[in-house]
Chain A
Amino acid sequence: MNHRITNILLVGVGGQGILLASEILSEAAMMAGFDVKKSEIHGMSQRGGSVVSHVRFGTKVFSPIVPEGEGDILFGFELMETVRSLPFLKHGGTVVANDLHISPPSVLIGQEPYPDGLAERIRARFSDFLLVDGQKIATDAGNVRAANTVLLGVVSKRLSIPQEMWMEALEKMVPGKAVDVNKRAFLMGQEF
């Protein structure tokens, strides 16, 4: 319940690069002088399962996991996973979601359809909702795989972390030859 703590959830599907995005965010927050904690589950989730990464920063952070109903920002890399994690978000919280559908096994084998109206379900509960075509913007920036960094750029506008910390964190965490395209993707996300 400490209001000086910023609670962020990064959610999506194993293999989407959620861990890297949450590391960049944590690194930037630490460089900005905050105490930071981050928690997620590796292991089974890496085989295409749901992934939830919790990042919390502020003057002093105790629990590494965000309690349900206390998330400030839900940062979704896939639409259905974004909806699945809505209970983490506080009333009036922000949703930044990538407009991407990845079918789970039951949908792939034709057992049930991929649910429709997901964006509407989010909007019905959270008015501060940004739906971003991360793939398109990342492609324009030079590489479709930088979609996560586009979304990070969008989210960065809502956080009190100085620009130079973001740039430094990107340089530190992103593999060498991908730094330029990721910086471009980040800046394009900030313009969204």
Chain B
Amino acid sequence: MKRTILSGNEAIARGAYEAGCLVACAYPGTPSTEILENALQYTEINSSWAPNEKVALEVAIGASFGGGRALCTMKHVGVNVAADPLFTLSYTGVRGGLLLVVADDPEMHSSQNEQDSRNYAKFAKVPMLEPSDSQECKEFTRLAFELSEQYDTPVMLRSSTRISHGKSVVELGERVTGLPQPRLEKNPAKLVMLPGNARVRHPVVEQSLIDLSKAAATLPFNRIELRDTTIGVITAGICYQYVREVLPNASTLKLGLVHPLPFDLIREFAAQVDTLYVIEELDPFIEDRVKAMGISAIGKEIISLCGELTPGRLRSAFKLPQAEAAPAETLPGRPPNMCPGCPHRGVFYTLKQLNAYITGDIGCYTLGFMPPLSAMDTCVCMGASIGMATGVTKVVSDQEKKKVVAVIGDSTFLHTGLNGLMDMVYNNSPATVIILDNSITAMTGRQDNPASGFTLMDDPTHAINLPLLCKALGVKNIRVINPLDLEETRRVIAEEMERFEPSVIITNKPCVLINRADIFQKGPVYAVDSGTCSGCRACLKIGCPAIEWVPAGDGSKKGKARIDPLLCTGCDVCRQLCTFTAIGSVK
């Protein structure tokens, strides 16, 4: 058996390969993105990025209905977008096994909320598995496809940041063979969810969950581990590891299937231990149902509803001594920042200068919120910026309406921003939309999208023409600007903000991280002439990581700017801010 170290995401991709999966589809989202990026190495799987999670799931549903095994992956908030097909997919069931992987982000390391996806499993009536390490990620993925076909249901697998991005040792297996060849097969009574058909399907779904709950008591992924029986802990996922670390002598009921729960096994375990605990991150999902069975247990009385669990927090919950640690030092923070040369920087600088009210969106440009740019006023979810801008203009004065600007990236615009723009035109909102088109889905690590010109497989493909698309939606005022030209950027944004009808401004410079030489190349490096620099700090207002303030060192507030030649991309924006012509390119 080949042993290797894999992240949870790599192991899920491997599990899909071993399970004979034929199609994998996703929209990128931290911490789930690397599953598809790793599925790519298995040429037997057709892997693709979809414009959003709803489409990704629908592609997987189609593949399943065609008879192939299909994988769909997303981050927790992606399920909100994909919820519509999901809730009816449980009624239709599947042909080829269908696995929906959802990666939660307790502690919100890279998310706008920490919703607990287990609630979706119950709500949508879909079985859900929860692995505790990379080996289980692989095994549970294989198993999920089998359960999916056996119980005629989609199956969800819930990961979390610590599982998806944690690495551990995995033993690899072979790809299964002998699965039926996909082919068209009509079964409208099962796959056309008109009321008459759906009424027939609903009781089938309920019965199948009862059957699985009973079977789950004997399936190997749910297991009782008896040790000292004074304390018994029901747990799942990453929390199992923390329980084993902090309470090594406690008995555990380790759940691999968190929906439906194996009620018989829970009763059996509860009867064998003196005090029963339920240890889980976020919502009391298991705990509420254990208590509803009439079994007394301790859970959220000692474990927070918020944030992720850690060994230290678990130790505090059980009032165990903590290891002696050095006190935290007071140090300057190090928040993330837009890259040197990022084409978004000049736009946010300009919007701040124009005192705009900026409805923001999800992507690298959300970092426009950070000082010194401090140029973002709202951020709720993917695609929300445009609808919010329209909404704001419905209530404020005519003078204030002109201040409202929505800012959205190319990938986010195509994800769910498009509908907001339709509404804006349809209902004639006077707000201004800026599409920050950097030709990539940058925040999650440079994934291609329908406007970037390449597929996940790196094959060239049609790139959506954003100005033409906006024109087709009925936008009359469409301006394409070079965001690295501050004069042009300011003039065009000011003109469109003043205009009392819908307008779209599209920036046209690529992300500096794109490693395709024909799309992005660094320009000549810039430097500050220290003899000419007056120390006015104007160039520091864009917050470029390549520009550093060097104090004079005499205790005064004086100093000069310096450009780090290793970081500078030659974007030219700082030169345009320097009224003393102290900044220029190095020949």
Contacts and interface: CB of A to CB of B under 8 A. Distances in A.
Interface of A: 1-2, 13-14, 23, 26-27, 30, 35-50, 61-65, 67-70, 80-81, 83-84, 86-91, 103-110, 112-115, 121, 125
Contacts of B547: 108
Interface of B: 3-5, 30-31, 109-110, 133, 161-162, 165-169, 238, 241-242, 244-245, 248, 310-312, 315, 322-329, 331-339, 364, 367, 370-372, 443-445, 537, 540-541, 543, 545, 547-549, 551, 559
Contacts of B551: 110, 113
A114 B325 CA distance: 24
A47 B338 contact: yes
A68 B110 contact: no
A161 B290 CA distance: 46
Contact of A83 (B248, B329, B333, B337): B329
A38 B168 contact: yes
B336 A67 contact: no
A64 B168 contact: yes
Contacts of B333: 104, 106
Contact of A63 (B242, B328, B331): B242
B336 A42 contact: no
B428 to A, nearest CB: 37
Contact of B325 (A49, A89, A108, A113): A89
* Most chain A beta-carbon neighbours within 10 Å: one of B3, B169, B323, B326: B326
A87 B326 contact: yes
A86 B338 CA distance: 28
B162 A65 contact: yes
A14 B364 CA distance: 15
A81 B312 CA distance: 21
Contacts, number: 173
Contacts of B328: 84, 87
A108 B109 contact: no
B166 A64 contact: yes
Contact of A67 (B133, B169, B311, B559): B311
9 contacts: A2-B245, A38-B167, A41-B165, A67-B311, A67-B315, A81-B334, A107-B332, A110-B551, A113-B551
B162 A69 contact: no
A44 B336 contact: yes
Contact of B167 (A1, A37, A80, A103): A37
Given A43-B444, A107-B332, A110-B540, 10 more contacts: A38-B168, A43-B109, A50-B334, A65-B162, A67-B245, A89-B326, A105-B370, A105-B371, A109-B537, A109-B549
Contacts of B367: 47
Contacts of A14: 336
A186 to B, nearest CB: 19
Contacts of A35: 168-169
Contact of B168 (A37, A50, A69, A86): A37
* Most chain A beta-carbon neighbours within 10 Å: one of B4, B248, B332: B332
A63 B311 contact: yes
A91 B327 CA distance: 12
A86 B329 contact: yes
Contacts of A121: 329
Contacts of B312: 67-68
B549 A108 contact: yes
Contacts of B4: 30
Contacts of B241: 62-64
A84 B169 CA distance: 30
B311 A86 contact: no
Pick the 4 closest A-B CB pairs, nearest first: A69-B323, A110-B549, A43-B110, A69-B325
A40 B9 CA distance: 13
A104 B332 CA distance: 7
B5 A115 contact: no
A44 B109 contact: yes
Given A14-B336, A63-B241, A83-B331, A39 B166 contact: yes
Contacts of B338: 47
Contact of B334 (A1, A48, A70): A48
A78 to B, nearest CB: 9
A97 to B, nearest CB: 14
A115 B333 CA distance: 11
A105 B545 contact: yes
* Most chain A beta-carbon neighbours within 10 Å: one of B323, B334, B543: B334
Nearest to A89: B326
B325 A87 contact: yes
Contacts of A23: 5, 167
A68 B323 contact: yes
A38 to B, nearest CB: 4
A80 B331 contact: yes
* Most chain A beta-carbon neighbours within 10 Å: one of B30, B169, B324: B169
Nearest to A144: B566
B331 A47 contact: no
Contacts of A61: 168
Nearest to B562: A108
A32 B167 CA distance: 17
A105 B5 contact: no
Contacts of A80: 331-332, 334
B162 A27 contact: no
A49 B315 contact: no
Nearest to B342: A47
B332 A68 contact: no
Contacts of B327: 87
B337 A114 contact: no
A87 B537 CA distance: 36
* Most chain B beta-carbon neighbours within 10 Å: one of A39, A70, A80: A39
B76 to A, nearest CB: 13
Contact of B31 (A30, A43, A114): A43
A41 B167 contact: no
A38 B501 CA distance: 53
Nearest to A107: B332
A42 B238 CA distance: 18
A104 B242 contact: no
Nearest to A84: B331
A62 B540 contact: no
A121 B166 CA distance: 31
Nearest to A74: B326
Nearest to A33: B3
A103 to B, nearest CB: 6
Nearest to B313: A67
A106 B543 CA distance: 9
Contacts of A86: 326, 329
B370 to A, nearest CB: 7
A23 to B, nearest CB: 8
Nearest to A65: B310
B169 A30 contact: yes
A48 B332 contact: no
B322 A41 contact: no
B108 to A, nearest CB: 10
A106 B30 contact: no
A91 B324 contact: yes
